[in-house]
Structure 1
Amino acid sequence: MARYFDIHPENPQPRTVAQITALLRGGGLIAYPTDSCYALGAQIGNRDALDRIRTIRHLSDKHHFTLVCSDFAQLGQFVQLDNDVFRAIKAVTPGSYTFILPATKEVPRRLLHPKKKTVGVRIPDNKVVQALLADLGEPLLSSTLLLPDQEEPMTEGWEIQERLQHEVDAVLDAGHCGPDLTTVVDFSSGQAEVTRYGAGDPSRFE
């Protein structure tokens, strides 16, 4: 049975945040709110959670997982950025964008696209996520909470608790969230390509 945390969207309770990050360090898989929609999250090195996310979402091995980072210093440890790409991403973060970039050796191989050796990264504009990342001290392995039988992500924490209470270890309810996905911009070829239109304004990358 998943633990249920009612967390304040603007002023996340430090004690609650500490309980959630302790659960993550213990190998837990959480459902949590972001600046676009709810997502599934775990520690980067948590292989079991990665397999659970694949099972919950029915994902193939070509799916791009995302590393949710607190800031550019953290993001720069996990992806390769030239000056032009750095400036383009810097201009719109934090925000509702996911960027596909070549990964550094800091990223576990099982998180990479098998052919491109790329990974998704983002810096969300969300106080709950930023509080979790600050306490955890590392990025979150993340994937949009879009279930295989649904066209849009779930938007309410209590609905997620009812649906996934036996498949995740905790649900963080910060109220209504979504249903917009992030805008995905693929820089793997060296040029920006918008591969999914979502909450972030894509015009800068078109």
Structure 2
Amino acid sequence: MLELGAGSGQFAVAAAKRGYKVTVIELVPKAINLMEKLASEHGVEQNLHIIYGDFYKVDIAGQFDVVCYWDGFGIGSNEDQQRLLNRVSQWLKSDGMALIDIYTPWYWAKVAGEEMEIGHIARRYDFDPVGCKMIDTWWQKGEPESKVTQYLRCYSPADLNLLMKESDLQLDRIKAGGEMNYESREFISETSLERAMSYLAILVKS
């Protein structure tokens, strides 16, 4: 199994504990340190291979049964996503599958303007209808100059199919993600695709 952008390694370590051989690519040294510590705490260092680098650039020998990318697809341009999908195809065995979280445009358009507070941190969601991007802004309460904003391109399944038109990947099936009730601050894990904030795209080679 190959995980892209593994962060501090919660999924990778959990998969390794289940007996999977997991290779991860991570760009942030601090995240790698946390991942190594977590792997050591759970005794799975032998099942976890960590590659420090940019998954747009690193070279990996061999192919994988599963390639997964959680909560990050959509950073950059359409061309960036196509380049990444081509790399995923190269890393994937002919009978393998890719699991990719993808944000939905309808959900993030609906919740534009929502604000919340998490401890000392304030957060606001907005939506760019022209670029079809979710806009996520964080700042320290009382310090608006500390704002940090990230943009994530949202894709409907139809958009995703267009993105993969020149690829040998195809959309095999979809699993709807959850939605947030901002009035009750309750996360609803089971919902329909038209209400979901994201979906899991399961891709196979054509």
TM-score, structure 2 normalization: 0.27
Structure whose alpha-carbon radius of gyration is higher: 2
TM-score, structure 1 normalization: 0.27
Could you say which structure has the greater relative contact order, defined with CA pairs below 8 angstroms and 6 or more residues apart?
1
Greater strand share, structure number: 2
